[in-house]
Amino acid sequence: MMEPRPLNPTPTPEVPLPRAPLERVIAQVRFPPILTIRDPDKVAVFQEAIRETYPNLSQEQVHSIEVHGGQAPSISQGQVWRLADRARDPRWRVSLGVDFVALETSSYDSRSDFLERLQTVLAAVEHGFRPASATRLGLRYIDRLTDDAVDQVAELVHPDVLGIIKPARNPHAVLGESVVHLMTEVQFLAQNAARVQGRWGLLPANVTYDPDALEPVGNRSWVLDLDMYTTESQTFESEKLLTTATGFAKCLYWLFRQMVKDDFLRYYGGNP
């Protein structure tokens, strides 16, 4: 079998979707642990840099479980600062831990707006804590089709992506009609040693595969989850990190457009 070739995205003009089914967009940068991020006085400098946009501060204790082959799971507890645009049901949120910073939104407006906000957050970390390096950078887009769109998914998404639930050429092949839960997981090789983790498929009501990023809903849905990342260490410079994130956004949009039909764009109000 031939070695995988990196994705070769071409420039793809954005088609705005007034009713875009984007559930969540998340960008995260990891760095070597900085223990002073536990200190409220140190975090105050970071907070002040972004407080006008994210005025609501809270602190959470989070637990993580790591499993290593042949060993008992290890459970660790950490402290995360959350800075949000509003106290209840935030649309935008910044999360800061001792070894990461993340920006996420459920109210995505445009690529340029998101990346501008990301640069502001990264610059605040750079100036406030001066991380030694960035050990991982990731950008993730999660789309979720619900209601009538699920029934019409065969008209909206290319058949090769749908798998067993695509319309059958053989009228006697009806396995797809019996599917309750179907998730496809793929990893693509991208340029410069980056990877894209893709997950998509049909979810039954009240089910999720990632409770931190995708809340379950009361009806079945079809999800398209694309997460591009690199684990190549680089200097923590906000402008350089933004350049990488911008390239990721363009690649993910190109990949999205390879997977959906023009009817998808029209269904959500676009004009391809």
Q: What is the mean pLDDT of each run of 10 residues along the chain (272 residues)?
A: 88 96 98 96 96 96 61 69 96 97 97 98 98 98 97 95 80 76 96 95 96 95 98 97 98 98 98 94
Instruction: Say which residues have a Cβ less than 8 Å from residue 110's Cβ, sequence separation at least 6.
Output: 14, 16
The pair of structure tokens assigned to 34 is 């900085």
Q: In whole angstroms, what is the distance from residue 156 CA to residue 116 CA?
A: 31
Contact 111, 253 (CB under 8 A): yes
* Predicted pLDDT at 175: 81
Neighbours of 166 (CB within 10 A): 15
* Predicted pLDDT at 168: 65
Q: In whole angstroms, what is the distance from residue 239 CA to residue 245 CA?
A: 10
Beta bridge partners of 136: 30
Contact 143, 224 (CB under 8 A): yes
Q: What is the longest distance spanned by two Cα atoms in the chain?
A: 68
The pair of structure tokens assigned to 28 is 């995260």
* Predicted pLDDT at 135: 97
Contact 64, 28 (CB under 8 A): no
DSSP 182-235: EEEEEEEE-GGG-EEEEEEEEE-TT--S-TTT----SS-EEEEEEEEEE---B-
* Predicted pLDDT at 64: 59
* Predicted pLDDT at 164: 87
Q: Find the helix packing angle between 238-259 and 111-129, rounded to 10°.
A: 150
Encode 87-98: b = buried (16+ Cβ within 10 Å), e = exposed: eeebebbbbbbb
* Predicted pLDDT at 123: 98
Q: In whole angstroms, what is the distance from residue 262 CA to residue 234 CA?
A: 38
**DSSP structure class, residue 71:** S
* Predicted pLDDT at 77: 67
